[in-house]
Amino acid sequence: MADQAQSVTVTIDGLNVSVPKGTLLVEAAKQVNNEIPVYCYHTKLGPAGLCRICLVEIEGMPKLQIGCNTRVSDGMVVHTTSERVNEGRRAVLEFFLLNHPLDCPICDKGGECDLQDFSMAYGQGQSRLADRKASKPKAVDLGPTIVLDEERCIVCQRCVRFDDIITGERSLVVKDRGHRDIIATAADEPYHSNFSGNVTELCPVGALTSKTYRFKSRPWDLQRTQTTCTQCSVGCQLLVDVREGTVLRTMSVPTDDRISDGWLCDRGRYNIGFYDDARRLSAPLYRDSGHWMQIQWQDAVELWAQAIKDAIAAGGPQTVGVLGGGRLLNEEAFALQHVFRQLGVQNLDWRSGPQRQATPGRSGGLPTELEAAEAIVIVGQGPSETAPILDLRVRKAVLQRGAVCIAVGSRDAEPPYPCKHVATIKDAVAAVPKGAKRIALVWDGVDPQAGRELGNAFAAEPTLRYIAGEQGNARGAEAMGMHPASGPGFAFGSAAGRDFAGMVEDARAGKLHVLCIFGANPALHFPNGNAVAEALERIPFVVVSDLFMTQSAEYAKLVLPAHGLFEKFGTTLNLGGDVLPVNAALNAPQGTLSDLEMIAGLAQALGAQLPGASELAEYVIQSAAATHDLELGDERLCGATPKAALPAQAEGDGTLRVAVQSRIFAGGGTVAHDPWIEQLQPLPQAAVSPSVAQRLGLTTGDCVDLEGAGSTMHDLLIEVRAALPDDVVAVIGGLPDDPANVFGGGALVRIGNIRSAGELAGVPAAS
């Protein structure tokens, strides 16, 4: 019920409703379950007043008004279904259909198209046009993800406005005028965006379609399941549409205001093709004398249990390690540590990449709270490539609400919104507007010293804190006790094992005999890839549970085929601290098991106890909600040891320090095994500052090698990036064909083997 002082009462089709003053008529009507038809209007985009399908009759006003851009006033009497209204809408539709093709039988939008639906409700049923319809190009390739049918477009401009208001990228435009107007990209470049798929949902007709879904199905043939995306730590709610056992598309949940704001990033939306990929593992694999052979699950579990028993009997529980990464659900992470802790194993960790901490502690903010911040301070890699939908909240705060964004020592590409670049956290404190009451701190969880410094610098201010790292259910794994120093619910003092870096050291020293890797790929993602490879070589029994033969699985003795996210039930814990439901939308392939089923089998073989389903659910809720006073860079989670000294860089010695950056489409697991999405993997890239580019005579598009620390990265495309410091080269991590972790964190490298963009294109170099 609206506040009386601020509310107005309006009568809509005979029903009285009280709404806050200033409410748009189209929104007020929803309160009485009356959906006024709209095309250009969208709740998140606001009114545009372009299409006029929302005509309504307001008593006392001589002409029909548009419901989407009329604010209600007290005593207003509105008719939305009168004869005059219907006649107005009929005329509007006749105009829209004038040149619209008769495409419904072959249009992907058929069955869920607003033009089809409103034509049925208000249209006149036949055309009065005697001339030929104007024709326009069909199936225009707009970019790597989207196809445009120009004839179907009703120029509502939702797509253009999304790209302006929500992403700030402004790459979509309306070209030409009158009946020739079309949607295009600003510079005729392909439409590239991490959020491109949203325009297909916004498009009220079949003009914008996803390449992944074209001509695949009718909506009534799809079975829909709501679940949570765990491709990153945001936890967007997701609708999974399945037909005959295949995921055909995913859609956003428009009412998910708390987390996704009704959007999805392209990773969450499009990375669905791997479920049916022929490379998927479908039976346990055992490596004997260098050869892989398929074995039965029972044999696999027995071999695994025996290896653990033998290792513990020979050298104690410290010879066993477990790495359980962000693909695990809360229940799986809890069960994993629970079983191994019963055996005395303390070497437990979720940190298979550079991220060290996932839980921000007491003042952790919700995604929705971030958009109300007046100042946002970003330390480390920003969320654009690690938690994309959180990045949209940053954009909303800055572009729509005037927040100030400050990035400290950023290595990221320039964002599509105003952002102050500063060198130190002290500079960031000075850059926060005086009197700003809501300050948000966004940290990537990688450098604990930077995290501590950030927390301390703003200790006196009320802040909202976010850790936007690169692993999906990292916060869940951390809270469930997959940590060498903390049991479930941050029970510090109950554990004292080795973190994964310590396990790598132990392995290289021949002290680790069994390593169990669940849902993680440290060979590709851990900062020192060469050390991990050497460690994995030396461990006698490595077990990997995964969907594919990953870079880490190549070293295993035993590989266990696992269920994917859409094939299991459970919960996840997102970066805002919400426990979110995961629901199976697919039957898993024969021969695979969920990680929980594998852990249960192991527990049985080892005589360890596992809580029953309801008890496990209770433990998960308790552990996720445990009150704790964690700080950013908390020493209890990250360790107190300062970072190992980086190799010294003498001024002018021509070396550059490697900064590894995440990208949403880089990775060796589901991305690399999704035939369609593989093409979205970025090419290896080396970003340098303008002065480094000038010194070496480089321009964007040139191709180079990086050499240093005994390794080489080949064929990287140069990008000249304005905000980069002069001593840094930023490279993309997680690319299977050119892994950036060959150098180890912070290594010094030189740029060599320079080939100019012109040379590569076959243009002879100027003499």
- Only one of the segments 230-238, 296-304, 501-509, 558-566 lies at the binding site for ligand SF4 (rule: CB under 6 A); that segment is 230-238
Asked if residue 575 lies in contact with residue 235, where contact means CB atoms within 8 angstroms, the answer is yes
Contact between 582 and ligand SF4 (CB under 6 A)? Answer: no
Token pair of 598 as six digits:
């594998």
Contact between 50 and ligand FES (CB under 6 A)? Answer: yes
Contact between 205 and ligand SF4 (CB under 6 A)? Answer: yes
Asked if residue 211 lies in contact with residue 676, where contact means CB atoms within 8 angstroms, the answer is yes
* Minimum distance from residue 236 beta carbon to ligand SF4 (Å): 3
Contact between 442 and ligand SF4 (CB under 6 A)? Answer: no
CA dihedral 426, 430, 432, 435 (to 10 degrees): 130
Residues 6+ apart with CB under 8 A from 203: 109, 156, 158, 159
Contact between 672 and ligand FES (CB under 6 A)? Answer: no
3-state SS string for 177-232: CHHHCEEEECCCCCCCCCCCCHHHHHCCCCCEEECCCCCCCCHHHCEEEEEECCCC
Contact between 616 and ligand SF4 (CB under 6 A)? Answer: no
The binder of ligand FES chosen from 54, 375, 378, 704 (CB under 6 A): 54
Query: Can you tell me the distance from the alpha carbon of 361 to that of 358, in angstroms, rounded to the nearest whole number?
Result: 9
The angle formed by the CA atoms of residues 617, 231 and 614, to the nearest 5 degrees, is 5
211 alpha carbon, distance to own chain's centre: 20
* Minimum distance from residue 261 beta carbon to ligand SF4 (Å): 10
* Residue placing its CB nearer to ligand FES in the complex, 49 or 752: 49
Token pair of 107 as six digits:
């249009």
- Only one of the segments 77-85, 199-207, 217-225, 494-502 lies at the binding site for ligand SF4 (rule: CB under 6 A); that segment is 199-207
Task: Classify residue 508 by burial, with Cβ atoms within 10 Å: 0-12, 13-18, 19+.
Answer: middle
Which helix (H) or strand (E) covers residue 615, if one does? helix 613-625
* Minimum distance from residue 681 beta carbon to ligand SF4 (Å): 15
Contact between 52 and ligand FES (CB under 6 A)? Answer: yes
* Minimum distance from residue 67 beta carbon to ligand FES (Å): 6
The binder of ligand FES chosen from 20, 22, 49, 752 (CB under 6 A): 49
- Only one of the segments 23-31, 265-273, 672-680, 719-727 lies at the binding site for ligand SF4 (rule: CB under 6 A); that segment is 265-273
296 alpha carbon, distance to own chain's centre: 36
3-state SS string for 710-745: CEEEEEEEEEECCCCCCCEEEEECCCCCCCHHHCCC
* Residue placing its CB nearer to ligand FES in the complex, 49 or 607: 49
Contact between 38 and ligand FES (CB under 6 A)? Answer: yes
Q: In what order do the strands lie in the sheet with 55-58?
A: 15-20, 7-12, 77-79, 55-58, 65-66
Residue 157 interacts with which of ligand FES, ligand SF4, none, CB < 5 to 8 Å by class: ligand SF4
Q: Tell me whether strands 439-443 and 463-467 are parallel, antiparallel or unpaired.
A: parallel
* Residue placing its CB nearer to ligand SF4 in the complex, 156 or 283: 156
Asked if residue 354 lies in contact with residue 522, where contact means CB atoms within 8 angstroms, the answer is no
The binder of ligand FES chosen from 19, 23, 41, 623 (CB under 6 A): 41
For residue 274, what is the DSSP state?
A: G
Asked if residue 13 lies in contact with residue 78, where contact means CB atoms within 8 angstroms, the answer is yes
Query: Strand, coil or helix: what is 332?
Result: helix
Asked if residue 122 lies in contact with residue 93, where contact means CB atoms within 8 angstroms, the answer is yes
Binding characters for ligand SF4, 358-387, by CB under 6 A (x = yes): -----------------------------x
- Only one of the segments 122-130, 202-210, 309-317, 440-448 lies at the binding site for ligand SF4 (rule: CB under 6 A); that segment is 202-210
* Residue placing its CB nearer to ligand FES in the complex, 156 or 387: 156
Contact between 12 and ligand FES (CB under 6 A)? Answer: no
* Residue placing its CB nearer to ligand SF4 in the complex, 17 or 184: 184
Contact between 39 and ligand FES (CB under 6 A)? Answer: yes
Contact between 203 and ligand SF4 (CB under 6 A)? Answer: yes
Binding characters for ligand FES, 568-597, by CB under 6 A (x = yes): ------------------------------
Contact between 432 and ligand SF4 (CB under 6 A)? Answer: no
* Residue placing its CB nearer to ligand SF4 in the complex, 92 or 183: 183
The binder of ligand SF4 chosen from 66, 153, 303, 516 (CB under 6 A): 153
Asked if residue 560 lies in contact with residue 283, where contact means CB atoms within 8 angstroms, the answer is no
Contact between 136 and ligand SF4 (CB under 6 A)? Answer: no
Q: Tell me whether strands 685-688 and 711-720 are parallel, antiparallel or unpaired.
A: parallel
- Integer distance in angstroms from the first to the last C-alpha of the chain? 77
390 alpha carbon, distance to own chain's centre: 9
- Only one of the segments 34-42, 83-91, 242-250, 700-708 lies at the binding site for ligand FES (rule: CB under 6 A); that segment is 34-42
Query: Can you tell me the distance from the alpha carbon of 668 to that of 557, in angstroms, rounded to the nearest whole number?
Result: 19
* Residue placing its CB nearer to ligand SF4 in the complex, 195 or 458: 195
Binding characters for ligand FES, 425-444, by CB under 6 A (x = yes): --------------------
Query: Can you tell me the distance from the alpha carbon of 256 to that of 279, in angstroms, rounded to the nearest whole number?
Result: 34
Tell me the residue nearest to ligand SF4 as measured from the CB. Answer: 268
- Please report, as residue ranges, which positions from 386 to 425 form the binding site for ligand FES (by CB under 6 A): none
Identify the CA nearest to 501 among candidates 320, 356, 339, 657: 356
* Residue placing its CB nearer to ligand SF4 in the complex, 235 or 326: 235
Contact between 208 and ligand SF4 (CB under 6 A)? Answer: yes
Residue 512 interacts with which of ligand SF4, ligand FES, none, CB < 5 to 8 Å by class: none
Contact between 36 and ligand SF4 (CB under 6 A)? Answer: no
203 alpha carbon, distance to own chain's centre: 22
* Minimum distance from residue 649 beta carbon to ligand SF4 (Å): 35
Contact between 40 and ligand FES (CB under 6 A)? Answer: yes
Query: Can you tell me the distance from the alpha carbon of 673 to that of 734, in angstroms, rounded to the nearest whole number?
Result: 14
Query: Can you tell me the distance from the alpha carbon of 207 to that of 191, in angstroms, rounded to the nearest whole number?
Result: 15
Q: In the Cβ-directed half-sphere of 111, how many Cα atoms lie within 13 Å?
A: 10
* Minimum distance from residue 359 beta carbon to ligand FES (Å): 43
- Chain positions contacting ligand FES, by CB under 6 A: 38-41, 49-54, 66, 68
- Chain positions contacting ligand SF4, by CB under 6 A: 153-159, 183, 202-203, 205, 207-208, 229, 231-232, 234-236, 260, 264-265, 267-268, 387-389
